[in-house]
Amino acid sequence: MWEISKKSTVATGKVEPRDEILIKPQISGIVAEVYKLAGQSVKKGEVIAKVKVIPEMGTLNSSESRVRLSEINYKQARQEYERQQKLFKDKLISKEEFEKSEVTMLQAKEEKENAKDNLDIVKDGISKKSAQYSNTMIRSTIDGLVLDVPVKAGNSVIMSNTFNDGTTIATVANMKDLIFKGKIDETEVGRIKEGMPIKLSIGALQDVKFDARLEYISPKGVEENGANLFEIKAAINAPSNVKIRSGYSANAEIVLSHATKVLTIPESCIEFSNDSSFVYVLKSEKPTQTFEKKRVAIGLSDGIKIEIKGGITKKDKVRGAKVEDKK
């Protein structure tokens, strides 16, 4: 008893992560440091790079002016508060008047702190209050593998906005969620459907095959070198102990039909006549071998083995293909 599969023409393509996440900065500036390199693992929230802000001079001058003005206002409000406090102690003013001066002084102090924080953000992209939420530290948004870091220290980067996509700091992907992307000829696409099993061979990993499952067939073909091809995608079920790199070339054999625990014999043992199939079953071995021609019902064929649905049993011995004498 064997298992047998009927496969379609091989589709060629590549192995890729299902999703590649582009990590982009939330501010524009200069890359100060890069902490991760391509090929290294990264956790969600882990810092990949640090960006130093290059302030715009007009904004910087405005922020510095705001700090100076707020310091003057705070100094004046504090002096007024101290005068009102003395008068209140001497019972020369009401408590209400004293409290008003205190509120004015506290408001001026808060404005001074906000002005300083704003200046820090303009200059460095970070303030003391918001240090833990700093957008100068570029962090990974997922657990995965760093596939590419196209920037280095000293490079200028810009944040994404309405007019551009922004600079990519790094590309990160979950290498445990891989798919096969390939193309199949139009003569084969009508024979396949989503959900079919696939046997995947990766060129860089010799003698290793992976199971995959077809999950997408493009509704539109593209012409390449005179052939009309359709894109397919398949989810890969790869063992955890095998390291697969993004971009590996691969071949996919789509299993059109599959049968297990069936009787099979070499297809070369079958003699075809019109719509019928026959084999020669051994009847006796002595004094000479004699065979009986029997009709059999056949099923799946993989080009080497063929399924026998009826006509003989696993105890029968069949004659192999006739060997022609070469003279």
Q: What would the pLDDT profile of 197-226 be if each residue is shown by its tens digit?
A: 888 888 888 778 888 999 999 999 999 888
Higher pLDDT among residues 181 and 308, named by residue: 181
Is pLDDT at 190 greater than 90 in this prediction?
A: no
Question: Is-contact 6 303, C-beta < 8 A?
Answer: no
What confidence score (pLDDT) does residue 327 get? 47
Q: Which residue would you say has higher pLDDT here, 254 or 229?
A: 229
More confident residue, 79 or 135: 79
Bridge partners of 249, per DSSP, are 14
What are the residue ranges of helices labelled H in the chain?
57-89, 95-124, 186-189
- Residue-wise pLDDT for 107-132, tens only, equals 999 998 888 887 776 666 666 665 44
Where are the domains positioned within the chain? 2-16+175-259, 22-53+136-173, 57-131, 260-310
Architecture category of domain 22-53+136-173 in CATH: Beta Barrel (2.40)
**Looking at the domain 2-16+175-259, which fold is it?**
Elongation Factor Tu (Ef-tu); domain 3 (2.40.30)
Please tell us whether the domain made up of 57-131 is placed in CATH 3.10.450.50. no
* DSSP bridge pairs for 234: 180, 214
* CA 182 – CA 11 distance, rounded (Å): 6
pLDDT of the residue at 124: 64
Give the integer Cα–Cα distance in Å for 250 and 253. Answer: 10
* 303 pLDDT more than 60: yes
Supply the pLDDT for residue 56: 66
Contact 186, 229 (CB under 8 A): yes
Please give the full DSSP string across 103-118, using - where no structure is assigned. Answer: HHHHHHHHHHHHHHHH
Residue type, 321: A
Average pLDDT on 182-203 reads: 87
Of the candidates 106, 128, 133, the one whose C-alpha atom is nearest the C-alpha of residue 117 is 128
Contact 30, 169 (CB under 8 A): no
β-bridge pairing 227-237 and 271-273: unpaired
Query: What whole-number distance in Å separates Cα of residue 322 and Cα of residue 285?
Result: 17
The class level of CATH for 260-310 reads mainly beta
pLDDT at 129: 61
Instruction: Indicate the average pLDDT of the chain.
Output: 85
Between the ranges 92-106, 184-198, 251-265, where is the mean pLDDT highest?
A: 92-106
For 139-158, how does the pLDDT look when each residue is reduced to its tens digit (9 = 90+)? 999 999 999 999 999 899 98
What are the tens digits of pLDDT across the range 291-302?
888 898 888 777
Q: Is 288 left (phi over 0), alpha (psi -120 to 50) or beta?
A: beta
pLDDT winner (highest mean) among 56-65, 156-165, 211-220, 305-314:
211-220
Kind and range of the H or E element at 277? strand 276-284
User: Judging by beta carbons within 10 Å of its beta carbon (0-12, 13-18, 19+), is residue 312 exposed, middle or buried?
Assistant: middle
156-180 pLDDT, tens digit per residue, is: 998 887 888 899 999 999 998 999 9
Confirm whether 57-131 and 260-310 share one CATH topology. Answer: no
Q: For residue 32, which amino acid is it?
A: A
Q: What is the mean pLDDT of residues 41-54?
A: 89
Query: Kind and range of the H or E element at 129?
Result: none
